[in-house]
Structure 1
């Protein structure tokens, strides 16, 4: 018997999940089966759930999103606006885990 072919991951999933968000607070959340990702600004919760399940082969139980509005700063006296960013806190099923240090 031949090995079962691994299902190919669609490119649109890589457009939804941009990068892991690694901070002290997100590492403390990982003790409770939660992982924090930077996601696309127009991504919805079902899209984020589908992308994480496809990319990392885990089961997602809950997705919470946060939109951080960009601050207005000054550089050489002229104001500019930092870009807005959207983060997703993804809670995984007990027993599942994602090692964000290994990459995709």
Structure 2
């Protein structure tokens, strides 16, 4: 499944975990029904709502060199009560 690329772990994304909302970087051409189906299939949870955003590319500087941070699409997925996704693997 090339729809879900990886989860987003930022300060805002960890605050959203309290509301049972998870953030993922997804394929820019995917739509909400396919994102919902992929999340429900991969993690065996019930998705209530999906918010998506196309984030623009940004200029980044490393020393004297200018470059671009690439464009991506973000999906914020709200799960039903009682469902969770374990993003942080526990080590033994």
Label 1:33 to 1:75 Cα distance change in 2 as closer, same or farther (>3 A). Answer: closer
Structure richer in strand, relative to its length:
2
- Once the two structures are superposed, the pairs formed by residues 9-48 of structure 1 within 5 Å of their partners are 14-48=1-35
Distance across 2 between alignment mates of 1:77 and 1:98 = 41
In the TM superposition, what is the alpha-carbon distance from 1:79 to its structure 2 partner?
4.7
Does 1:70 find its partner at 2:57? yes
SS in 1 for 2:2: helix
SS in 2 for 1:15: coil
Q: CA RMSD in A?
A: 1.6
Distance across 1 between alignment mates of 2:60 and 2:11 = 25
Q: Which runs of 5+ in 2 are unaligned?
A: none
Match of 2:48 in 1: 61
In the TM superposition, what is the alpha-carbon distance from 1:67 to its structure 2 partner?
1.3
TM-score for the superposition, normalised by structure 2: 0.86
Distance across 2 between alignment mates of 1:59 and 1:76 = 46
Deviations 1:14-71 (A, max 9, x none): 3000000001111110111100011111111111100000000000000001111011
Larger of the two Rg values belongs to structure: 1
Runs of 4+ in 1 over 6 A off after TM superposition: none
Distance across 2 between alignment mates of 1:81 and 1:94 = 39
TM-score for the superposition, normalised by structure 1: 0.77
